[in-house]
Structure 1
């Protein structure tokens, strides 16, 4: 059983608690807990696992009476890591709010809640999705301020008019790649995580990217490297891996092909950038996210890019006929 971090080296101060609110994923379930249940999970009785509210998917790790805010924070980070690793081992999905949007309770709203029961002083705190450290006294109450979500509204008449016009095009057809791209695009609208939304939109674009051959000079150079590598005295697995990489080098990179695809949008602007420049920066951001660049791009930066990328992807997918013809022309020329 894990125990909390020792407080012996931390200077004494007002006692502090920590709280970690997390949400079990929709396709996972934790059984054996009821509403308002509280289970001690350390030998000292200082840390408990609790349910929160009527939705049993929300749970809380609560640590009490640490000698300082720093000690409470350190223990909170340790317990969060322990739960994350435990859930991975047990194949359970949970969102610990590490990059989740947060609501913020206003001072006026906080005072209103605090004054509801003046006879019993309490501190009213944001119901933070993630780690929260706060003084142990007075007793804490948690209120939720929902983060703002922008909603785009369209009248049904616009949908009917647009679909009817498109249906009149005899050559309108979506290939398999475009069907996958549309599915990814649609799914991105339901994602609350800025990272997941952004990456899903980038996947939608990459699904419909068609990579051209590089120039004849470059291909000839790569072919020379291919022959040399094929004849090299190398372990078979290493040689085959290099040959596969060299075959791929005959084609444009995903970044180059994506910029070419984005350029089909002409002189339109996205975040005051040309389509090609905007895609290039999005592709760099994607690489930073998936390859673990430290420090990671902030959630705000990713969210802003995702909002504009969503517009670009919608425009690219609305060029269905043009994209299909572009693919057919390449196949005919090949």
Structure 2
């Protein structure tokens, strides 16, 4: 029995590896263990794929496969950075694959181990070779014409000063967050938007300064059941963990939920009239 690892890598739409093949061997094909890049689809080439998989196989133990997954991830990350290729490797800690009821049904029907795809690294037994089902559903926010009309009426009814440079910067950072699929990147952009909106130029006590700013602007608002200031403090702590390279950062699911709510908060802040001055 051997073990394999599989790391999902989401590639930026603005960058691609110029490889006109569905897979590319990173070790000699006959090597054991062996490692390759693959699109997971024989009809899709690497140069056209939004998602790639770093796959290693034939390791003697689960621990050996986990160690190799970490080392190969580090090496590929450094290589893609050198080539200026944007890539999201997902969660950092290798884990075992999981099954949902639909995956168990597929396994019973076809007799092949079937697991849920995962934006990160999975380590698993490679005999028999499993199948991974990865969904690519994308949520699209579509406010109705009536909501647009209501928002415009409210905006036009309130006197507003001409936006200052910091207001424009805050809006640009907020908008940029919608072009990011990585929730950690979204957290950094959205908290930076609040910094720009406040115009803060201090570093000592910056967290309390921004928390007070949010509480003053949104005194009755709650996000994820938490008062506005407390929720921003929580998001700013996540941002600090990211930007200071904390080893045990929060997981992808938690950060994704935080980024979604923080987007609502920044939306509410930007909807307020620009202060005069």
**Would you call these one fold, judging by a TM-score over 0.5?**
yes
2:19 matched to which residue of 1? 32
Distance in 1 separating the partners of 2:257 and 2:205: 25
Question: Once structures 1 and 2 are overlaid, which stretch shifts more, 57-66 or 74-83?
Answer: 57-66
Matched, 1:182 2:135: no
**Mapped partners of 2:231, 2:130: distance in 1:** 46
CA RMSD in angstroms, aligned pairs only: 3.1
Counterpart in 1 of 2:37? 49
Q: Within 5 Å, give how 1:292-303 maps onto structure 2.
A: 292-303=245-256
Does the alignment pair 1:284 with 2:223?
no
Q: Is the 8 A contact 1:126 1:143 kept in 2?
A: yes
Which stretches in structure 1 are left out of the alignment for 5+ residues?
A: 1-13, 213-247, 329-334
Shift in alpha-carbon separation, 1:32–1:68, aligned structure 2, 3 A: same
Q: Is the 8 A contact 1:210 1:257 kept in 2?
A: no
Structure of higher CA gyration radius: 1
- Give the TM-score of the pair, scaled to structure 1: 0.68
Aligned residue in 1 for 2:77: 84
Cα separation, partners in 2 of 1:30 and 1:49, compared to 1, 3 Å: same
**Partner SS for 1:266:** coil
Equivalent residue for 2:198? 209
Taking the aligned partners of 2:228 and 2:118, their CA distance within structure 1 comes to 37
Query: CA 1:256 to 1:72, structure 2 compared with 1: closer, same or farther past 3 Å?
Result: closer
- What's the TM-score once normalised by structure 2's chain length? 0.81
Partner of 2:114: 124
Q: How many angstroms does 1:152 deviate by?
A: 5.0
Identify the match of residue 161 of structure 1 among 129, 150, 153. Answer: 150
Structure 2 counterpart SS, 1:60: strand
Q: Describe the SS at the equivalent of 1:161.
A: helix
Is the CA contact (8 Å cut-off) linking 1:51 and 1:58 kept in structure 2? yes
Provide the residue aligned with 2:268 in structure 1: 315
Task: Tell me what 1:22 maps to.
Answer: 9
Relative to structure 1, is the Cα distance of residues 33 and 195 closer, same or farther in structure 2, using a 3 angstrom cutoff?
Answer: same
Answer yes or no: is the 8 Å Cα contact 1:98–1:130 preserved in 2: yes
User: Unaligned 5+ residue runs, structure 2?
Assistant: none
Q: Which residue in the other structure is 1:63 paired with?
A: 56
CA deviation profile, 1:145-196 (whole Å, cap 9, x unmatched): 457x666553211112321342355545322221221222223234322211
